[in-house]
Amino acid sequence: MTTEALGWYASIFFWLFFTGIGIPPCPEEAGILYAAGLHALHPEAVQWPLAWLLTGAGIVCADLVLYGVGRRWGASLFEHRWVQRVVSAERRLRIEKGFHEHGVKLLLLARLLPPLRTGVFLIAGAIRFSLLRFFLADVAYGVVGVGLFFFGGTWLFDLIRRSEHLAIYLGAALAIVYGLYRYYRYLHDREPKLVEGAPVSVLQTPAAGAPAEPQAKDPAAAAAARDEAEKVLRD
């Protein structure tokens, strides 16, 4: 394997890893198309099995980092302002409720909804969702979801490469950027609105055995009871 090929492979993994944890905030589909484009334009240096594997590995590793951060810091993580920008308190309650009702289904759905991804993975760790189930759901997407984008992108880039016209390259680049934008907006609008009036966060439940607050007394009722007691004593 040449130094150039190593550089291409490393760029695939780190692109998907860093964008997966939100540095910078970029749709991971762009990274998958980047990997597909490298394979289509440099098939001798960038072989599809390793490119596909590193694409999925970058995504899975990033998701495990987010899960680990949530598991390590728990409820205190969501007190930080930068985390609240990623996932608001209202959205966090809806996601927690979704985990209790749907579990793995929510993880798979979040993969297709860019606005939800980061928050879902942080919350999965914070509520100590099963690491094995989390990992298996991520791998399933790495095989199926990444595969669809990767091989679809490879076919598209190979078609563009065969045309050998600059106008085609520019038009295709603009079409891809616009397509990703529209895809992102479509998924953003489809973000599930879970049941309103979500329960109190499982991360903020009161400590067991905490005494309940005494109920407020009605002054009028108390005065009436006192008068009745005094009357009985006089009789």
Helix %, strand %, coil % of the chain (to 5): 75, 0, 25
Q: How do the domains of the chain map onto residue ranges?
A: 3-200
Indicate the angle between helix axes 114-126 and 48-73, nearest 10 degrees: 50
> Span 52-60, mean pLDDT?
94
Q: How many other C-beta atoms lie within 10 A of the C-beta of residue 77?
A: 18
- Encode pLDDT of 94-122 as tens digits: 788 778 777 788 888 777 776 678 888 98
> Span 203-221, mean pLDDT?
45
> Span 84-97, mean pLDDT?
78
Tell me the whole-structure pTM to 2 decimals: 0.70
Please tell me which of 92-96, 158-162, 179-183 the model is most confident about, judged by mean pLDDT.
92-96
